Amino acid sequence: MAKVLVVTSGKGGVGKTTTTAALGAALAQSGKNVVVVDFDVGLRNLDLIMGAERRVVFDLINVVQGDAKLPQALIRDKRIDTLSLLPASQTRDKDALTEEGVARVIAELREKFDWVVCDSPAGIEKGATLSMRHADAAVIVTNPEVSSVRDSDRIIGLLDSKTLRAETGGRIEKHLLLTRYDPARAARGEMLKVDDVIEILSVPLLGIIPDSEEVLRASNLGAPVTLANPTSPPARAYFEAARRLMGETIDVTVPSEKRGLIGRLFGRKVVA
Amino acid sequence: MSLFSFLNKRSSAPVARERLQILLAHERALAGKSDLAAILQEEILAVIARHIAVDREKVQVKLDRGNAVSTLEIDIEMPEQPGASGAAKVPVRN
């Protein structure tokens, strides 16, 4: 049965689009049929992060308004054939999204795919609420930083009240994904620790994505980080998170770079 | 800038943690409700306006949210009676 997953955060710039691309690709790399859907109407970027920006013809708004059929708007990934993208419109605004239209598109996507991963826009306006409306599960992307944690708390409140599941007496499955984490700084008391964030937000942890140069490199190249460099620490963390989404129980680790002797000595000194 | 303040500067995460815990406890309690400070301001002003002419421009509202006690301070200036300006302090929650 298909699962609809929303990647959300409230705050902008914490890594929602990076996460949508990386988790979507990781799920597809393990053989699942996956579509990633960009809900950021007017400020689309998932196409760019996926490296499909030159292949966009129709978009979500065209399908919502009936100007194009869903298969016409879907862009099949050139590297993984089980991965597709439904881009957002760049020229329209969020008012072009309608409740009924989105419901119809999501229902159609559920029939075609195992996973429907929705990339929410920042904020709590219409685009964000519609992107979470039909979700079965949510990944709350949070940076270990006060404004991001506060906005995540707000979004958790909306997930528990404004989603279809919540309104019909059910519960939405929630997962915390901590991104841009720097274990050394957290150990020195300069950054909120993983346990602090989990305790404050009371949401189970899906994974910890270490702060890494590889994420920017992947976006420069137009490839999800799990494809651009599958053995890099952030990619390994995303692969683990994807396995947990699929129901596996594995310990959460913070993947790190393989360090030379100097790096190891330095790392130990910092942690001690 | 003593040695002590240098040591303190390093470990800012506990401060972030405590600030978040206090803030979110308040925000969760207020979720779904309208702005309590605004409602109190309106109703208190309405009561006072029944007896005294109040200039809406000269009303100051201050909210200080603490760990145990929060203070809502509504300062209403009454220009018609010099020296009669007063502050009403209303504790709102703990």
Would you state the structure tokens that stand for residue A67, as one six-digit string? 């100007």
Residue of B nearest to A148 (CA): B20
- Please give the pLDDT value at position B4: 54
- Closest CA of chain B from A150, distance in Å: 7
The structure tokens listed for A1 are 């049965």
pLDDT of residue A141: 98
Interface residues of B toward A, Cβ cutoff 8 Å, are 10-14, 16-17, 19-21, 23-24, 27-28, 31-32
Name the percent of chain A lying above pLDDT 70: 94
Chain B positions in Cβ-Cβ contact with residue A157 (cut-off 8 Å): 28, 31
Interface test mutation site (partner B, options A124, A161, A192, max chain B beta carbons within 10 A): A192
This model of the complex carries an ipTM of 0.82
Q: Is A117 exposed, middle or buried (0-12, 13-18, 19+ CB in 10 A)?
A: buried
For chain A, what percent of residues have pLDDT higher than 90? Answer: 90
Q: Are A46 and A85 in contact (CB under 8 A)?
A: yes
Model confidence over A84-139: pLDDT tens digits? 999 999 988 888 899 999 999 999 999 999 999 999 999 999 999 999 999 999 99
Contact B16/A146, CB-based, under 8 Å? yes
Q: Cβ B31–A196 below 8 Å, yes or no? A: no
Strand, coil or helix: B53: coil
Kind plus residue range of the DSSP H or E element containing A35: strand A34-38
Closest CA to A177 of A141, A150, A215, A226: A141
CA pair distance A252, A178, nearest whole angstrom? 11
Predicted local distance difference test score (pLDDT) of residue B94: 44
pLDDT score recorded for residue A258: 63
Q: What pLDDT does B77 receive?
A: 78
Mean pLDDT over residues A220-241, rounded?
A: 97
In which residue ranges of chain B is pLDDT below 70?
Answer: 1-9, 31-34, 79-94
Q: What is the pLDDT of residues A164-174, one digit of tens each?
A: 999 999 999 99
pLDDT of A272 > 50? The answer is: no
Specify the pLDDT at position B45. 82
pTM of the model: 0.82
Evaluated on CA atoms B11, B13, B19, B22, the torsion sign reads negative
Q: Taking every pair of C-alpha atoms in chain B, what is the biggest distance, in angstroms?
A: 58
Q: Is A191 on the interface with B (CB under 8 A)?
A: yes
**A66 CA to centre of own chain:** 27
More confident residue, A176 or B32: A176
Helix (H, G, I), strand (E, B) or coil at A104: helix
Three-state secondary structure call for residue A210: strand
